[in-house]
Structure 1
């Protein structure tokens, strides 16, 4: 048997032995075993690699030539490996393909292609390699066909001898920290089809001589620091289909040679400093599907030749200095889905053709459009209105009334008509927009009343009608909008009292009614108990704590004794209205006695409350006093203490009551209570949740039954429940202590370079899915999925917390739950708002889907900008539909994530957030899908034929 020691000796002596010994099969086995010794394999993916085998051809990730039995391919993508790339691979002299993508390998790239002369495909993407590429790395690279170093941390300059790789077909160095200028040899890579150097720090001017790249299909240089003009030579790359030079410092006009690129589908030049006009010859590029010139300095008019681009799907020329009117020939763009000319100086009337094309996004905000929109909408065909999802005509000079035809946009999700000159009333047809989540009619001249039908916009989250002349009362139907979060009715002429039913809007975060003529008191409870005073100012007749004005007490009309009564057996009682009612002397005596009884009851109640408070505090102190007699494995309650049960071991709380009562030991607060950190006598840390739902908790028998059931659940991705403490007025749950903090803080409160990489995020998603699948297998619904309830242990493993607590309540009332977990903004499934729909495990699947999107994008489920509300699942869905999937992933990961994993993960998140519960997968299915995404089955590589 070969020993590892012998293997190491062999490798050390191999340079000398190579002179006298020809390569043998053993070289491959030994080389791979040494490679294995240099890496860490936490998931045991290399367990099949046995040094006793005579040949490695059946090892996982290894492929051999069937004739020679020599290793030709080593594909270890997504194996979870870490460590460094050792020199064992140098023994694989017939290796054609080396792919180690999406692991966590570190260190510098010490190998060179001269040491692996047969190598044709090299993929080290998605790791954490650092340092520069040695100047001789590309020497003897004549056989190399494909190389990807994407999504690492390489730095320094790209070696000059890259140009000697004459057979190179695909080059991807994106998502690194390469700097300096492009090597001159890049322009001579005549075989290259794909060139991706995006998301680096490259600078200087682009090579003017690009004629050598005559096989180029795709070039992406976005997000660098390139300067100068777009080179003329790019027009000679006649096979180009995709060009992305966005987010650089390019200037000047576009070269006319680009009109020869008649095969080009995508032309993205946004976020540069390009000048001049949008050229007339752009219409010659008839294959264009995406034309993005946004955020440049283009001026003059949009050329009529753009009407020739009948394959165009996305047109974005926003944030330039374009003028004039829109050419009518744009109605020829029959395949157009997204049209964005916002933030320019374009004038004229609203184009009638815009609503006949079947657009999904139409944005002309911040321009100088004028006139009425009636004619534009009236000319639209009914079957064209149903496709529009996003309509923004804000900040123009549009006038006239808002037509009732607006209700024809049945799929509309975003409607912004703010800052125009619209007048008249809001049409009742607005209620037909069931999918609408954002509605902004602010800063116009609207009057009339708020239509009752607004309550039929069941998906509405943001509603602004501020700075108009709207009168009347706020309709009660507004309380039916259960997803509503932001409301602004300020600076209008609203009257009447606020509907008390508004208190049921559990997701409400802002409700601005300042400067109206509202009166009466605010709704009592929920959001309105903590409403910002600035949101209610300017209403002289409004009362309540928020406006620092007490409301008049509601008392019965005064009763006085009539001194003129002549009845010897009765007294006359006179109401202020002048009507008389006679009460007997016995009645008066009874009233006096009742009053005395009421006073007595109040006094007794106050005393009882004091005693209860004292008893509760005493029980809490005793529970954590550290007394050995109290902390037995299962203590029975008595008159002075509660019952403590530990599922594992015998506890001893060495820190006493201080651990519970001192704020320094508080870890956080949630919908079901506060959590504190304490230490047992044996040094073990635990987390103690003090339940804040005592008044709703079941009886002791039912409570203990449910808690013991939760205590039986043990899974690596679930926070284990180790015990509990019970008194009628105090319930404590004792959990294992998870030291790494929660996912919310890691995602949203990190700073600098301290953020989760893609591998860490994927593992968190997968681990959380496994934990939820385990809960559902034991018939437990979590009810409160959110990133703050995903804890991370010291090994980076996720643990789902706060599960099963809803089972402690007497009834699973969805409105009680909503009020308890309203901090889970954006995670709650839509069926919570519908009494007729059963709450099932699919609610957890919905919350998990939102969590997946949150982890992948780094964005909160709902975010608010100065003039917009961004709903995460809607944003991701829109981006995927528009082919902007890469933009969804957390910008801190740009260029450092595997697209073949990230995009399926995003799509899985959207599937989990389906509005229809039955369309969501089970969590067990989610786990299997994630495993397939991480370890896809072998598929045909388009470069495989080259080996």
Structure 2
């Protein structure tokens, strides 16, 4: 046994050593590749921070994950020569070498299987279209514009099914545009080449300008292609068939008829047997596939549903000026611009739209993304839906002015915004710890880490302070949140609750506002605008969600609520409490904690008070007091905002929030 144990330990240590060697060799290979590229390309010495004595992850333009290089952004640095050394950076996700003097053909990039963004524009690359690029199936953005590429555009581009950008303008490509259907393509340009023939129908949705300076191109959106004279009529064409030979003897005709009858009978029996056999085989195979792969499918689906897992590159708009925008400018309209609030680090719109991003979720007002800028800063970007109704630029800017000056430890700060006729973006602080919704409902089942009672109570108190601050920050406007729900309560790096998406309900269409999502007060069903009283109702539903662990909009009837159908969360809780099953209300995950029943009942009473008739609901400042008193005063409010004095004494906000002040840009 000792000998076996000895050999086992030796084998284990050897395995660890091999794994460590593999890891070190991977990171050292990245270092070697970067230094090789620097020695050949950096003739002007602009990469002076690149040396073997410093951490390569801190070099100019280099970003890492787990000691592997994942982003390389080296733009406008007068680099020359080939990029072949970079082809060994196998974990690279972003490669941007725009506006340099790099040359030669593109090397084999097939090892860069994680690459998602490839920007090589405004260089001196030559040769044919880089064939290995078409094997990078995860690619989202491809920009080879303003180089010296030649030859045809390969049909194998259809392998890039996730492509959002394809820019090939200002090269020397010839031949026809391949007939490829890129359903998600947002940004496309092949102008300034030598392309010929008809434009494929899938590309006809783009404007004329993206096909310009190709004299031999035709078809929509350009002029119609000429019809070739003398083209044969395809309808008259018929295939040549060999005539059937008919036997001349009557005996042979009779014999042939009998044989045909036998064949017909045999064919019918055989057909029935084949159908039955196919049905049995398909049923067996289907059952086998169901048994073998359902569990794996369900697991993968659950993983895919995680909001914060994996990386998905998405973009809110085209990072390049379009013809439509240029025409709009020429007609006297003002072009959109980024507007920053005080204390916000500036960046250009192109930097924001070029950044790699991860979709965080979709809400009633738009889609939210986590964007990582080139300098490593992380922001959250909300792209407002087209359905959001804005009367005009002045109305939008006035509302953003008010929202942008709200600063509180329990609010997600609005850092900047962008307004244009076709696009409206809001930029917020990024909250790294996700939402209350995910903490309550994510990954329910075995292996889940439950949300403990102390954390729930802390989140409830913090969210209450944030909403109370909104209500009392500008008394003349009577600001409201308008969309309180668990997905809009986020957690910062310290675990503090931060309320997001406040003040956007002013832009919501009436039919959207009136639609019940489980959080909306009953009076909003008539199409009325949200008020501070309706915010209190929504917050009460949020407290019930914290206590019960149930989604307000997915609740089915249970004890005391009648049979069948769905019911809103407040009515269900009231029915259970009325029939004296109060313990059944609380989330089973809370049952493991001792001596908290009194505190849970206290929070339940606050929640039920918030969800009563509008005239009997407490103010949010009073709700804050009641929650803080559950544990003998709770945490002190950092800005004294929960005691009806936010606007007067809070150091987080000045009086001119209600209308005055200016933004910086």
TM norm structure 1:
0.30
Between Structure 1 and Structure 2, which shows a larger proportion of helix residues? 2
Higher relative contact order, chain-length normalized (CA < 8 Å, sep 6+)? 2
Between Structure 1 and Structure 2, which shows a larger proportion of strand residues? 1
Structure showing greater radius of gyration is 1
TM norm structure 2:
0.42
